[in-house]
């Protein structure tokens, strides 16, 4: 499948500089793209690749100033990364049509209605009382428990497990290995040193347009709900504990953990391996750097790094000072010698 640079520009509202008739049939990185590939530049630290790039065309910002000759055709847009996402979505929809129908062997409990445009893959299980929305795709070996609600257009990939009573909104994506609605970590200490399990009677509610990465786990509430808000995106290998709440349009990178009853606001950006303690509240539009640990409430708009987390600028100053510890220790020892000499 090929498109000219001019056709692509028309699709995304861009303007062409260079050969509008160059034909493009692939996407690639700016440093390795060939003459048939479309690439992009959104981060200026990669600008040094522009003069040497062999790409057929490059998506570039309307306000980027080119200082050296470039052989590639440029397609100027307001947001190169957003335009690339739009184009790749179009190509994906054209080249990877979604399946429909019910494959066998699979199990659909009596009374559960599967819409004509939905898909249930081989060896999938759909329990009693489940509700499957129009256009939903449930891939092979997925498990949808009793009373689960799956919204319109939602995709549940192979091997994902959704326990009883959980609610998944419209146009969500649940990747392979994800577990939604397993028991929260609730145990009551006993006088003899053992632990009595506390039944987890709540559920998980995932709003519309949420994406859950592979092998991410979201525990059901002890009572009430564990919530992931509309438009939020969770990476692979994340643990969300019972009764936690995540607001709308919050993104969280891999290997993070959110402890029980923590509340995270909307439009937050949380780096990889971040740990969030239980029963704290994080405000809206908070940015948290990778490997940080939060133990206290956080106001709106905070930018945090470190363990324990602190304002990012303060943390970076401390890290810079740590590199001088050896030098400072040597100076202190020298001063101690001088003081001892004076005392003598």
pLDDT tens-digit profile of 138-186?
Answer: 999 999 999 999 999 999 999 999 999 999 999 999 999 999 999 999 9
> Which positions are annotated as active-site residues?
242
pLDDT the model gives residue 278: 96
**93 pLDDT more than 90:** no
Residue 49 is classified by DSSP as G
* Distance from C-alpha of 333 to C-alpha of 77, rounded to nearest angstrom: 60
CB contact set of 122 (below 8 Å; sequence gap of 6+):
103, 104, 105, 106, 140, 141
* Distance from C-alpha of 214 to C-alpha of 254, rounded to nearest angstrom: 10
Interval 192-220 mean pLDDT? 97
Interval 233-261 mean pLDDT? 98
pLDDT the model gives residue 125: 98
pLDDT the model gives residue 127: 98
Interval 11-27 mean pLDDT? 94
**Which three-class secondary structure state does DSSP give residue 146?**
coil
**72 pLDDT more than 90:** yes
Interval 295-308 mean pLDDT? 96
In this predicted structure, which of 80-89, 220-229, 251-260, 320-329 has the lowest mean pLDDT? 320-329
The model's pTM is 0.88
Backbone angles phi, psi at 154, to 5 degrees: -75, 145
pLDDT the model gives residue 95: 86
pLDDT the model gives residue 86: 94
pLDDT the model gives residue 218: 98
Q: With cut-offs at 50, 70 and 90, classify the pLDDT of residue 128.
A: very high
R_g over Cα of the chain? 26
Residue 97 is classified by DSSP as P
Delineate the domains of the chain, giving CATH numbers in brackets.
Answer: 3-95 (3.40.1390.10), 101-316 (2.160.10.10)
pLDDT the model gives residue 44: 85
pLDDT tens-digit profile of 48-61?
Answer: 999 999 999 999 99
pLDDT the model gives residue 323: 86
Show the tokens assigned to 154. Answer: 């939602």
Mean pLDDT, the chain, rounded, equals 95
Q: With cut-offs at 50, 70 and 90, classify the pLDDT of residue 68.
A: confident
**13 pLDDT more than 90:** yes
Residue 204, judged by CB atoms within 10 A of its CB (0-12, 13-18, 19+), counts as buried
Interval 34-44 mean pLDDT? 93
Interval 123-141 mean pLDDT? 98
């Amino acid at each position: 499948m090929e498109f000219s640079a001019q056709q692509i520009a028309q699709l995304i509202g861009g303007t062409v500089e260079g050969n509008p008739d160059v034909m493009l049939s692939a996407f690639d990185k700016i440093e390795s793209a060939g003459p048939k590939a479309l690439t992009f530049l959104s981060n200026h630290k990669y600008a040094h690749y522009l003069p040497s790039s062999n790409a057929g065309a490059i998506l570039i910002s309307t306000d980027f100033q080119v200082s050296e000759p470039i052989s590639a055709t440029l397609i100027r847009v307001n947001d190169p990364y957003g335009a690339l996402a739009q184009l790749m979505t179009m190509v994906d929809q054209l080249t990877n049509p979604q399946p429909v129908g019910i494959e066998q062997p699979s199990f659909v409990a009596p009374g559960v209605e599967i819409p004509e445009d939905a898909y249930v893959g081989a060896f999938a299980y759909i329990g009693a009382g489940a509700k499957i929305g129009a256009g939903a795709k449930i891939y092979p070996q997925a498990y949808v428990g009793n009373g689960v609600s799956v919204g319109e257009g939602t995709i549940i990939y192979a091997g994902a497990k959704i326990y009883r009573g959980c609610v998944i909104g419209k146009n969500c994506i649940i990747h392979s290995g994800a577990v939604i609605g397993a028991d929260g970590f609730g145990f009551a200490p006993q006088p003899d040193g053992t632990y009595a399990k506390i039944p987890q009677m709540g559920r998980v509610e995932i709003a519309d347009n949420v994406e859950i990465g592979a092998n991410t786990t979201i525990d059901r509430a002890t009572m009430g709900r564990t919530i992931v808000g509309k438009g939020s995106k969770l990476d692979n290998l994340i643990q969300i504990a019972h009764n936690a709440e995540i607001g709308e349009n919050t993104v969280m990178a891999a290997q993070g953990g959110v402890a029980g009853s923590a509340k995270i606001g909307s439009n937050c950006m949380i780096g990889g391996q971040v740990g969030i303690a239980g029963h704290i509240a994080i405000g809206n539009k908070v940015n948290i750097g990778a490997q940080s640990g939060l133990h206290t409430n956080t106001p709106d708009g905070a930018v945090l790094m470190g363990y324990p987390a602190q304002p990012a600028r303060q943390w970076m100053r401390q890290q810079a000072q740590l590199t001088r510890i050896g030098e400072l220790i040597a100076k202190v020892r020298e001063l101690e010698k001088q003081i001892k000499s004076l005392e003598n």
